[in-house]
Amino acid sequence: MKRRRGYKRGYPVALLVGFMDDHAVLWHVFSHVVKPHCTVTLGGTRTDKRVLYNFHESVVNALRPELNEEVRSVVVAAPMRTTYAADFLDHLRKHHAYLIQAKGSNRATFAELVGAASQLHEVAELVKTKEFCKLIAETTSREAERTVDTLEKHLNSIDNSSVVLYSPKEIEGFICDQERQDDFRTKYLILTDKYLTNCKDRNRINRLLQIAKNKKVKTSVVSEETPAGKRISQFGGIVFFTTQTL
């Protein structure tokens, strides 16, 4: 009897919101699969401004909890010859500017794409397109570059408050040291996709990522082909950094 192979989901890449005439579907996009999250229904007609406002608010409410440390990139899709995606992005700019402000701590990167993304077969085809892959590369790259900019500030810090680690063993020890957690500010763990794929003890790294998430460490996996990924590769493919509270 053949042993069943483990389910390969991969690492989180982005969120996808597919708008249709009377509903929107939220999807989790991983490096290997796409999984549906929830469906938000329009409780009336789009010509009713109050109904449309409430609908957009419901989508934001469903989206906000999913924008965590790993995923800050969102692709908004709608069929050709519709303004559904543009209408939603306009709603964000008017009522939730903090989500799209470049320097906001809660900001995310949004991108618009033409295409239906309501059914699984539609999404499966959409994520294979060059347009989708390009958008994902651009949005995740911008997010990663912001994190690397923060890393550079830590590296160039003139005081001794910054901590930068490149060894998985040291990183694991630091994150698991409960007594040290309150003495440090926001903590970051960033690694390249190539490092995650090729590391000898992948189970240990995956376990480290899970522990980091549980400890509220901002974690992210970036493409090695991006400028941010190339910079992280210079440190061996994995970097942890934080600043001590003074």
Q: Amino acid letter at 175?
A: I
Whether residues 123 and 175 fall in one domain: no
Residue 199 covered by a domain: yes
105 burial level (CB within 10 Å; 0-12, 13-18, 19+): exposed
Alpha-carbon gap, residue 121 to 126, rounded angstroms: 9
Residue 237 covered by a domain: yes
Alpha-carbon gap, residue 205 to 189, rounded angstroms: 11
Q: What is the CATH number of the domain that holds 228?
A: 3.30.1330.30
Kindly give, in sequence order, each residue whose CB lies less than 8 Å from that of residue 205, ignoring residues fewer than 6 positions away. 168, 191, 195, 196, 199, 238
pLDDT digits (tens, 9 = 90+) for 68-110: 656 788 999 999 999 999 999 999 999 998 888 756 556 788 9
Whether residues 198 and 119 fall in one domain: no
pLDDT digits (tens, 9 = 90+) for 44-69: 999 999 999 999 999 999 998 888 65
Residue 7 covered by a domain: no
Give the H/E segment covering residue 17.
Answer: strand 12-19
Residues of the domain holding 107: 12-128
Q: What is the CATH number of the domain that holds 76?
A: 3.30.420.60
Question: How many domains are there within the chain?
Answer: 2
CB of 239 closer than 8 Å to CB of 164? yes
Three-state SS at 139: helix
Residue 90 covered by a domain: yes
Whether residues 47 and 96 fall in one domain: yes
Whether residues 182 and 120 fall in one domain: no
Task: Kindly give the residue spans of alpha helices, DSSP state H, lying in the chain.
Answer: 49-63, 84-95, 120-126, 130-155, 168-176, 193-198, 202-214, 227-233
**Model pTM?**
0.71
Residue 136 covered by a domain: no
Alpha-carbon gap, residue 183 to 151, rounded angstroms: 19
What pLDDT shows up at residue 62? 95
